[in-house]
């Protein structure tokens, strides 16, 4: 590859180790291919990353804005009880101006985002930066979540927790992938309400706003979900980009637990 084809890629994972680490894997992969990577997160999260990163990965530290209800020391889901996640999301959303300012003052070509930063694709497109969504969730899970048209603009994916315990009607292959009731029982995060945006709506907006959706899945395991997902997302939103988890990393993750 010639030099001018080398890209500057920014990455902005959700504030959870189960997201930071797979994003860092992709960052390392891109760095090995000769691209520059700006890895954006908050100070405490960046400090916990492995020290021996490739030199073409730059860590971009943005302080987490404080919000009422979120203790000062908290910067990721592993620092707090699960019911505080809505406050962490609020703080995460308040990072918007700082992320946009960083992009405006950089020569970033692509922004790889997580399923939380629904506000970002609109901003990146204005700055001439292309957006990709990297889903750490597999294809079966994304199919379960549903087509973006059903998730955004006041659509209601789930009125009650029970709605999330059944296989949705758009699934065309035999599967049992759905939540168990206890997993979603006290999860205001999954339900749309006046005051909070559900993770589903965030995801839907991102799928619509991004030029590429890359899924951490491979066709050997998920042929049917991947081909259905392509239909649900429609062209041009779903432009390949499947990332196979490496066996070594998969075992490590199970051992460390995923948040």
Verify whether residue 19 is a known catalytic residue.
Answer: yes
Q: Which of 68, 79, 109, 114 is catalytic?
A: 114
41 part of the interface to ligand NAG, by CB under 6 A: no
Among 188, 192, 211, 253, binds ligand NAG (CB under 6 A): 188
163 part of the interface to ligand NAG, by CB under 6 A: no
CB 217 to ligand NAG: min, Å: 7
Where in 209-248 is the site for ligand NAG (CB under 6 A)? 221-222
Give the residue at shortest CB distance from ligand NAG. Answer: 86
Asked if residue 75 lies in contact with residue 43, where contact means CB atoms within 8 angstroms, the answer is yes
Q: Where does residue 235 rank: exposed (0-12), middle (13-18), buried (19+ CB within 10 A)?
A: exposed
Residue 50 CB neighbour total at 10 angstroms: 8
Site stretch for ligand NAG (CB under 6 A), options 7-15, 160-168, 193-201, 241-249 = 193-201
Task: For Cα atoms 215, 7, 243, give the angle at the middle one, nearest 5 degrees.
Answer: 15
CB 203 to ligand NAG: min, Å: 14
What are the DSSP calls for 116-146, one per residue? T-TTHHHHHHHTT-EEEEEESS-HHHHHHH-
For the CA atoms of 97, 98, 102, 108, the dihedral, rounded to the nearest 10 degrees, stands at: -70
Verify whether residue 109 is a known catalytic residue.
Answer: no
Radius of gyration for the chain, computed over Cα atoms and rounded to the nearest angstrom: 18
Among 105, 160, 195, 254, binds ligand NAG (CB under 6 A): 195
> Which DSSP helix (H) or strand (E) runs through 36?
strand 36-41
Where in 138-157 is the site for ligand NAG (CB under 6 A)? 138, 140-141
196 part of the interface to ligand NAG, by CB under 6 A: yes
Catalytic residues: 19, 114
């Amino acid at each position: 590859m010639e030099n001018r084809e080398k890209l500057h890629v920014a990455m902005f994972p959700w504030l959870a180790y189960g997201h930071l680490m797979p994003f860092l894997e992709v960052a390392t992969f891109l760095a090995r291919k000769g691209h520059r990577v700006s890895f954006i997160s908050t100070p405490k999260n960046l400090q916990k990353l492995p020290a021996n990163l490739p030199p073409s990965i730059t860590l971009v530290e943005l302080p987490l804005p404080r919000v009422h209800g979120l203790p000062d020391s908290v910067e990721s889901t592993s620092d707090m009880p699960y019911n505080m996640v809505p406050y962490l999301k609020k703080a995460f959303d308040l990072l918007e101006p700082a992320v946009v300012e960083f992009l405006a003052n950089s020569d970033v070509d692509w922004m790889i985002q997580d399923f939380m930063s629904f506000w970002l694709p609109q901003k990146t497109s204005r700055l001439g930066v292309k957006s990709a969504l990297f889903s750490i969730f597999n294809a079966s899970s994304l199919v379960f979540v549903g087509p973006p048209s059903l998730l955004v603009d006041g659509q209601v994916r789930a009125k009650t927790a029970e709605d999330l315990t059944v296989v949705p009607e758009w699934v065309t292959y035999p599967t049992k992938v759905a939540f168990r009731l206890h997993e979603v029982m006290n999860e205001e995060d999954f339900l749309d309400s006046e005051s909070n945006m559900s993770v589903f709506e965030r995801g839907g907006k991102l799928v619509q706003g991004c030029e590429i959706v890359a899924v951490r899945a491979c066709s050997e395991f998920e042929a049917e979900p991947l081909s259905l997902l392509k239909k649900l997302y429609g062209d041009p939103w779903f432009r390949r980009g499947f990332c196979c988890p490496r066996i070594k990393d998969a075992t490590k993750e199970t051992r460390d637990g995923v948040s």
